[in-house]
Amino acid sequence: MLQNGMCPDNYTLPYVLKACSKLQSCFLGELVHGHCLQLGFVTNTVVGNSLMFMYCGFSNMKAARYIFDEIPSPCAVSWTLMISGYAKAGDICSAKLFFDEAPEKDRGIWGAMISGYVQNNCFKECLYTFRLMQLIDMVPDEGIFLSILCACAQLGALDTGIWIHRYLDRIGLPLSIRLSTGLIDMPDDVTFIAMLSACSYSGMAQEGLRVLDRMCNVYDIEPRSEHYGCMVDLLSRAGLLQEAKEMIQRMPNSSSSSEEAVAWRALLSACCNQGQPQLAQVASEKLLQLEPHSGAYVLLSNLYATTGKHDDAKRIKKMMRNKGLNKAPGCSSIKINGIVHEFVAGEKIHKQLEEIESVLEKMKKQLNYLGCDPYPFLVDQT
């Protein structure tokens, strides 16, 4: 255009400046800025706003401020650009000064300030500004609602978030995908660990499997060892021991030996609780390869004892002694009338030993009466 001797006007230059912004070329932008000066268009509001937009994108707020001061009558867009530019550059104080000095605040100016607070982690100030906006009966747009919902999520302000949801219904603003996402706060891998743990403790095995499937196929989140650990615990609690074993075998190779050991220990504990000695043997062997600790031997020994395989239980105890593994006795305590009473498994010198044994005997009889197996071998060790 210039080579053909044609002179750009105030309609052409904004498009050229926008192209410089898209290309992230500060050098070309400054050349076009020079043409604007030569042609006398810097004081034009549209051209000036385009220059400010470009310099704000380059985080050159000094140049943007210079252009703003050259415009005789800055419009609402001019004020909005400066507020957004300072906020993006991390200078929230300067953004607030421009916000306060704006002669007339439209929705764009309010939105720029609220969004700027969120960008700079000033979530309380964001909600306060939103309340000020409400006092003048200014109806927010979708962008403002997204910023407010983000602030609510960061502050844990559930009541405010619920109120905004109801407000959206009242004003009839349709819930777009962005707003709906803001209301549920898009889950990440940590969110799914919490969900899987909740399913595990609630005994919701099928729901846990559905959660894992959605995590992988809907949210495209790669399961980590923590997710597999939750699933092993969930399946074990639900009695799906074979499925739990298969889940461990699917754990990523990047899992550490300690993480894999935790999964095998959960399966071993479940096998012991549900009387599955064969699978418990497999789990204990895997666990001892990863972590030669007395805990696995004790669990396996207790399982053999409770299922009547006392010879196997003695064999495991002998293996522990030969390997020099000693189990620290279990200990519990209770505070009554300001006095702490401590109990150690297998203790024979407690001053109230006769009373303790009497109570245990009564409990065993009550369990037998109710048709429950009190696991006599284990109870006698407490």
At 145 the pLDDT is 85
Please state, in angstroms and rounded to a whole number, the distance separating the CA atoms of residues 275 and 270: 8
Please state, in angstroms and rounded to a whole number, the distance separating the CA atoms of residues 361 and 215: 50
Beta-strand runs (E) in 19-156 = none
- Percent of the chain exceeding pLDDT 70 equals 79
Residue 96 has pLDDT above 70, yes or no: yes
Q: Whole-structure pTM over 0.85, yes or no?
A: no
What domains appear along the chain, each with residue ranges and CATH number? Answer: 13-184 (1.25.40.10), 189-327 (1.25.40.10), 336-382 (no CATH)
The tokens describing 100, both together, are 């306060």
Q: Is 25 in a helix, a strand, or coil?
A: coil
Rounded mean pLDDT, 41-56: 86
47 and 41 Cβ atoms separated by less than 8 Å: yes
> pLDDT of 250-272, one tens digit each?
887 756 676 777 788 888 878 87
- Helices (H) and strands (E) counted in the chain, each on its own, are 21, 2
49 and 78 Cβ atoms separated by less than 8 Å: yes
Rounded mean pLDDT, 352-380: 72
At 165 the pLDDT is 78
> pLDDT of 145-189, one tens digit each?
888 888 887 776 767 778 887 877 787 776 666 666 565 554 567
Please state, in angstroms and rounded to a whole number, the distance separating the CA atoms of residues 144 and 115: 7
The tokens describing 68, both together, are 């703003």
Least confidently predicted of 28-42, 62-76, 323-337:
323-337
At 329 the pLDDT is 59
78 and 48 Cβ atoms separated by less than 8 Å: yes
The mean of the pLDDT values for the chain is 79
Residue 53 makes CB contacts below 8 A (sequence gap 6+) with 17, 18, 21, 81
Q: How many CB atoms lie within 10 A of CB 100?
A: 9
- Percent of the chain exceeding pLDDT 90 equals 14
At 112 the pLDDT is 94
